[in-house]
Amino acid sequence: MLRQVAEGVLIHESEFCQSNAVVVHGRAGVLLIDPGVQNHELACLANDLSDSGQTVVAGFSTHPDWDHLLWHPQLGAAPRYGTARCSASVRDQLSDPDAKAHIADHLLETEIAGQVPLDLLGLITALPAETAQIPWDGPQARIIEHQAHAPGHAALFIEERGVLVAGDMLSDVLVPMLDLNGTADPIEDYLAALRLLESVAGDVDVLVPGHGSVGGADQVHARIERDRAYVLALREGHVPDDPRIGPSAKPGWEWVSDVHDGQAKRLARRSERDGTPG
Contacts to Zn ion by CB under 5 A: 67, 168, 210
Q: Which is nearer to Zn ion, 138 or 167 (CB)?
A: 167
Return the C-alpha torsion angle 11, 34, 228, 274, nearest 10.
170
Q: Which is nearer to Zn ion, 94 or 217 (CB)?
A: 94
- If DSSP codes are grouped into helix, strand and coil, which group holds residue 11? strand
Q: Which is nearer to Zn ion, 67 or 139 (CB)?
A: 67
Q: Which is nearer to Zn ion, 20 or 54 (CB)?
A: 20
> For the chain, give me the number of helices (H) and strands (E)?
6, 12
| Minimum gap (Å) between residue 275 Cβ and Zn ion | 33
| Minimum gap (Å) between residue 63 Cβ and Zn ion | 8
Q: Which is nearer to Zn ion, 237 or 262 (CB)?
A: 262
Element (H, E) at 193: helix 186-201
DSSP 53-99: T--EEEEE-SSSSGGGS---GGG-S--EEE-HHHHHHHHHHHTSTTH
| Minimum gap (Å) between residue 50 Cβ and Zn ion | 26
Is residue 35 a contact partner of residue 59, using CB atoms and an 8 Å limit?
yes
| Minimum gap (Å) between residue 221 Cβ and Zn ion | 23
Q: Which is nearer to Zn ion, 145 or 168 (CB)?
A: 168
Phi and psi based region of residue 110 (left: phi greater than 0; alpha: psi -120 to 50; beta: remaining): beta
| Minimum gap (Å) between residue 65 Cβ and Zn ion | 5
The amino acid occupying position 92 is D
Phi and psi based region of residue 36 (left: phi greater than 0; alpha: psi -120 to 50; beta: remaining): left
- Cβ count near 181 (within 10 Å): 9
Spatial separation of the C-alpha atoms in residues 212 and 117, rounded to whole Å: 22
| Minimum gap (Å) between residue 136 Cβ and Zn ion | 23
Q: Which is nearer to Zn ion, 82 or 210 (CB)?
A: 210
Among 185, 83, 73, residue whose Cα is nearest residue 134:
83
| Minimum gap (Å) between residue 211 Cβ and Zn ion | 6
How would you class 220 by CB atoms within 10 Å of its CB: exposed for 0-12, middle for 13-18, buried for 19 or more?
Answer: buried
